């Protein structure tokens, strides 16, 4: 964090203002008043972070919904789509309170019990950091168990639970859920409901059939007493997120929901389905070319970039999709570079400032002097020389660029120094 230090009353001119650098945890500290109680440890764990400028949010919030419409980028758990389809239909079947407030309590309790089952999975799913919605409450509940049953509680505090936080929007975008307020027939639905379409109902059927023989569904899902651990462990053997490959019909229905456009849809809906198919096809292509792509975002970025560089001017659906994702990769590479420069700038500022921060002149010197430095830097086929700082009404860093003409296609092989390629800072 930065802020302008203006503590002295006479510091009103812009040139007298000072910029002060703060460590993240400095912003949490405040002077203690003698005699008053204070917390001896923080409840908020502040970390330096890997995205100090928040550039990654552009990828998550703006770009990914275009490249992968209807896909939750924060989860790899496809089975939650069938789980929530089942939960929504059960709520409607039981004719419970037809409001989202009532649905919220029902959903969060089912999420917590489902998270308990995932924690007890014999395949070790409970050890995965992003295992299931409600993991942060399910794990302590099992670790601090008294008796052989787990008391009922909700998965998270947020309204509508993990369904509302993560999965509601993709389910609506895929046409599987009708959200509250949507006109159905002559009335607006007062609560989220599962779509009446066969593909939505089939998803609920698939999950229901997977757990049909469990004691949890028959005897404990709607109870108020603690759920026996043995019941949850048996539930995990068929319902856990990792068990989806054991249910090929459920997998087929998920693929159908994601990739097969329902009949009679608007062109914009068809475009989303087409984009989703092309993006998944690209991932499978890169997975075939580089198996490490399966578990590494870095490997996927590298594979996409190499694929694009091999044929940057191609035509057709594959070339267009590849160009889309290569553009995102280029943005990510640039983002990482900017973040590294900014982090270095911050470290230098913290080290250089006095208790009052840095003046405008000191900040200029920090950037064009300490940070920019002098010498030559090779960038691709170019050489950037930095130096010759001068003062003529402001500080300037003179940047000289030498270009290998032969490498750039000009033919004479000579090096050239830019006549007027200086950057004012």
DSSP string, 327-393: HHHHHHHHHHHHHHHHHHHHHHHHHH-BTTBEEHHHHHHIIIIIIT-SEEEEETTEEEEEEEEEESS
Residue 375, strand partner residues: 386
Whether the pLDDT of residue 72 is over 70: the answer is yes
Average pLDDT, the chain: 83
DSSP letter at 423 equals: E
Smallest Cα–Cα separation from 324: which of 333, 338, 312, 334? Answer: 312
| Tokens (6 digits) for 136 | 């942060």
Give the H or E element holding residue 183. Answer: strand 183-184
Mean pLDDT for 207-223 is 95
Report the pLDDT value the prediction gives residue 376, as an integer from 0 to 100: 77
Q: Are 178 and 184 a contacting pair, CB within 8 Å?
A: yes
Residue 294 pLDDT > 60: yes
Mean pLDDT of 366-388: 76
Q: pLDDT grade, residue 269 (50/70/90)?
A: confident
Check pLDDT > 70 for residue 154: yes
Element (H, E) at 299: helix 297-310
H or E segment and range at residue 227: strand 227-228
Burial of 63 from C-beta contacts in 10 A (0-12 / 13-18 / 19+): middle
pLDDT beyond 50 at 129: yes
The pLDDT value recorded for residue 264 is: 77
Whether residue 183 is predicted with pLDDT greater than 80 in this model: the reply is yes
- Other C-beta atoms within 10 Å of 341: how many? 11
In this prediction, residue 23 carries a pLDDT of 66
CA distances from 346 to 45, 49, 361 (A): 20, 13, 17
Q: Please say whether the beta carbons of 383 and 376 come within 8 A.
A: yes
**Residue (of 153, 137, 118) closest to 227 by Cα position:** 153
Non-local CB neighbours of 325 within 8 Å, separated by 6+ positions: 67, 279, 282, 304, 308
Provide the pLDDT for residue 145.
87
CA dist., res. 134 & res. 131, Å (int): 9
């Amino acid at each position: 964090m930065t802020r302008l230090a203006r503590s002295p009353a006479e510091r009103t001119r812009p040139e007298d203002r000072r910029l002060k650098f703060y460590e993240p945890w400095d912003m949490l500290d405040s002077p203690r008043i003698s005699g008053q109680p204070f917390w001896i440890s923080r409840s908020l764990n502040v970390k330096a972070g890997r995205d100090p400028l928040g550039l990654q949010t552009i990828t998550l919030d703006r770009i990914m919904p275009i490249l992968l419409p209807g896909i939750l980028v924060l989860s790899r758990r496809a089975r939650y789509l069938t789980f929530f389809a089942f939960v929504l239909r059960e709520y409607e079947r039981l004719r419970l309170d037809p409001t989202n407030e009532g649905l919220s309590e029902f959903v969060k309790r089912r999420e917590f019990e489902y998270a308990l089952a995932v924690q007890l999975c014999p395949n070790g799913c409970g050890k995965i950091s992003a295992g299931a919605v409600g993991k942060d409450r399910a794990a302590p509940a099992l670790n601090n168990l008294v008796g052989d049953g787990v008391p009922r509680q909700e998965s998270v505090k947020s309204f509508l639970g993990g369904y509302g936080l993560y999965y509601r929007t993709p389910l609506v975008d895929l046409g599987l859920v009708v959200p509250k307020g949507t006109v159905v027939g002559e009335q607006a639905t007062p609560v989220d409901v599962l779509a009446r379409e066969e593909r939505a109902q089939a998803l609920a059927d698939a999950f229901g059939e997977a757990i049909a023989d469990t004691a949890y569904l028959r005897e404990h899902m709607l109870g108020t007493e603690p759920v026996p651990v043995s019941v949850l462990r048996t539930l995990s053997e068929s319902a856990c997120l990792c068990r989806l490959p054991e249910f090929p019909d459920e997998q087929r229905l998920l693929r159908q929901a994601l990739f097969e456009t329902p009949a009679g849809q608007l062109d914009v809906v068809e475009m989303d389905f087409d984009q989703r198919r092309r993006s998944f096809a690209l991932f499978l292509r890169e997975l075939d070319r580089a198996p490490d792509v399966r578990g590494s975002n870095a490997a996927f970025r590298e594979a996409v970039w190499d694929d694009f560089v091999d044929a940057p001017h191609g035509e057709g659906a594959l070339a267009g999709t590849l160009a889309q994702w290569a553009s995102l990769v280029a943005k990510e590479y640039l983002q990482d570079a900017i973040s590294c420069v900014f982090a270095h700038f911050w470290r230098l500022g913290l080290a250089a400032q006095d208790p009052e921060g840095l003046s405008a002149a000191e900040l200029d010197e920090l950037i064009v002097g300490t940070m920019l430095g002098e010498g030559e830097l090779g960038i691709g086929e170019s050489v950037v020389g930095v130096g010759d700082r001068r003062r003529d009404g402001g500080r300037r860093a003179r940047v000289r660029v030498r270009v290998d003409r032969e490498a750039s296609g000009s033919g004479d092989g000579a090096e050239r120094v830019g006549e007027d390629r200086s950057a004012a800072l």
